[in-house]
A and B are shown apart, each in its own frame.
Chain A
Amino acid sequence: MENRYKLNKELAQMLKGGVIMDVTTPEQAKIAEAAGACAVMALERIPADIRAAGGVSRMSDPKMIKGIQNAVSIPVMAKCRIGHFVEAQLLEAIEIDYIDESEVLSPADDVYHIDKTKFKVPFVCGAKDLGEALRRISEGASMIRTKGEPGTGDVVQAVRHMRKMNSEIAKIKAMREDELFNEAKLLQVPYDLVLYVHENGKLPVVNFAAGGVATPADAALMMQLGAEGVFVGSGIFKSGNPEKRAAAIVKSVTNYTDASLIASLSEDLGEAMVGINEQEIELLMAERGK
């Protein structure tokens, strides 16, 4: 499995500098691919609608996921509930390219995450801080994303999570080696992962931003804060002109430091998703699964 895990981390490396878009139909998947998505996330309802509808949200219908797999040539990801290893087994059975064990869906287990080392397909997991990220990696995640607050169009939490992770990484990098053991204890993570962060100044897997990204400027903000790529969920297909907005976000991620280019990309995009402020939300999805 060691070889498999390396290959799975390497697929995430190929996605870097790209935008992964939430899609709910083969038509949306084609729009996303044509707009320059480096992968799509197949799900039945985008986070904003899950939030609005309430109730229990689960893995999508495999037939719908297969429809999207057949519609595009780029990698297709899909979500399973936290701890729901059978949903993950089903996604592996239909040869999904990446499984997102996601807090956007209702958790199936409030203690245990999936033992992702038992799977051949790769997993991406959300994290609010370095401890969560390293715990997910020790469980076998081969890619990490910030949790952000899905379905809100409010980037504040993704920013908070990315900054927190960066400052914790910087702190570990600056530590003496004999302090790492205690840090591993405090973070509740294996020592060897803390040592990796100390020696390399980064996570051992690719780290994307996710949750609340709605504009080209949001995406560039996350890239400038150190994200290696961006997930955009509700921000695209909840906006006035999905094709144009999606393409603008893709270019903004490639040239994330070029303010004049991003300014011109941001013109006439139509209405952005309405969005909900953090204080107005009743359900904080980022608090699911720690």
Chain B
Amino acid sequence: MVVAVLAVQGAFAEHERMLDKLGIPYVELRKKEDLQKGYDGIILPGGESTVQGKLLLELGMYDAIKQQIKAGMPVLATCAGLILLADFIENDDREYFKTLPVTVKRNAYGRQLGSFHTEQEFKGLGNIPMTFIRAPYITEVSEGVEVLAKVDGNIVAVRYQNQLAMAFHPELDEDERIHKCFVQMITEASGTRP
């Protein structure tokens, strides 16, 4: 099993550190040629969605990754990654992959003073640490989208088919359960062993 980490901008090294801890090999996606490397799942990390979205397009990776996601390749998306997947962004005209039928609100908690850390229930995993950095949240979900976590009544994590997306950053804390859950998704999708 190999996981691809989108590495155009943001906290991709933190996801790679998690994969290292789990003993999962990974490749970085920085340009079109990297898409030939061969991988079984994709991580879309935190960072600035405006930067990542623009670079995906201009470095020639957008169409191919969108097709891979639509074809069922497992995706783990955190913070900016969630914004890249969402069908609609409530407070922004920009649009990216549009493979996840939810509406998100960018910078939903305001500026950096609104960033926070909490521990809350995540469906099937129990309480997990959640770090929100200038984070979005989900304001609407379509049918078929499973809500996995809410904080103060707002949806912060969902699963839809092959896509696992959240507004917080599991890669910043030491808890490995979300990444293990993603590895499990890849195993189920490809029938290979981790």
| Residue in B12, B50, B92 whose beta carbon sits within 8 Å of that of A36 in the complex | B50
A-side contacts of B117, CB under 8 Å: 3, 6-7
Decide: A254 near B11, CB < 8 A? Known: A14-B46, A38-B51. no
Contact assessment for B110 and A10 in the assembled complex, using a CB-CB cutoff below 8 Å: no
Does A208 count as interface, using CB distance less than 8 angstroms? no
> Interface residue tally of chain B, by bracket?
35 or more
Q: Is the CB of A18 within 8 A of B51?
A: yes
Complex Cα spacing A251 to B58, Å: 9
Least Cβ distance of A21 to chain B in Å? 11
A10 neighbours in B (Cβ, 8 Å): 115, 131, 133, 169, 172
- Interfacial chain B residues near A255, Cβ < 8 Å: 30-31, 59
A9-24 interface mask toward B, CB cutoff 8 Å, 1 = contact, 0 = none?
A: 0110111111000000
Q: Can you identify 7 A-B contacts, CB atoms within 8 angstroms?
A: A13-B172, A14-B10, A16-B11, A17-B9, A74-B50, A95-B111, A97-B111
Please give, as numbers and ranges, the residues of chain A lying within 8 Å of B31 by CB-CB distance: 254-255, 258, 261
Once the chains bind, are A75 and B113 in contact (CB under 8 Å)? no
A121 interfacial by beta-carbon distance below 8 Å:
yes
Quick one: which of A8, A17, A247, A250 contacts B10, CB cutoff 8 A? Answer: A17
Indicate whether A203 reaches chain B with its CB closer than 8 angstroms: no
Query: For the complex, what is the distance from the CA of A11 to the CA of B51, rounded to whole Å?
Result: 15
CB proximity to A under 8 Å, residues B55-85: 55, 58-59, 79-80
Q: Given the interface contacts A7-B116, A38-B48, A73-B107, does A17 sit within 8 Å of B12 by beta carbon? A: yes
Who on chain B is nearest to A253 by CB?
Answer: B9
Chain B residues lying within 8 Å of A11, measured Cβ to Cβ, are: 112, 115, 133-134
Verify if B7 is at the interface (C-beta below 8 Å from A): yes
Given A7-B117, A15-B47, A18-B48, 17 other A-B residues pairs in contact with their CB atoms under 8 A: A3-B117, A11-B134, A14-B47, A14-B48, A15-B10, A15-B48, A16-B11, A16-B13, A18-B47, A33-B50, A36-B55, A38-B47, A38-B51, A69-B111, A121-B113, A122-B112, A250-B55
User: How far, in whole Å, are A254 and B46 apart by their CA atoms in the complex?
Assistant: 15
Collect the chain A residues with CB atoms within 8 Å of residue B169's CB. Answer: 10
Q: Is A286 located at the chain interface by the 8 A CB criterion?
A: no
Pairwise interchain contact A8-B47, C-beta atoms closer than 8 A: no
Q: Contact: A13 with B134, CB < 8 Å?
A: no
Q: How far is the CB of A272 from chain B (nearest CB, A)?
A: 22
User: With A36-B51, A73-B106, A251-B55 as given contacts, are A98 and B11 in contact (CB-CB < 8 Å)?
Assistant: no
Q: How far is the CA of A250 from the CA of B119 in the complex (A)?
A: 35
Which residues on A sit within 8 Å (CB–CB) of B133? 7, 10-11, 14
Closest to A228 in B: B13
Asked if B8 is an interface residue, CB under 8 A from chain A, the answer is yes
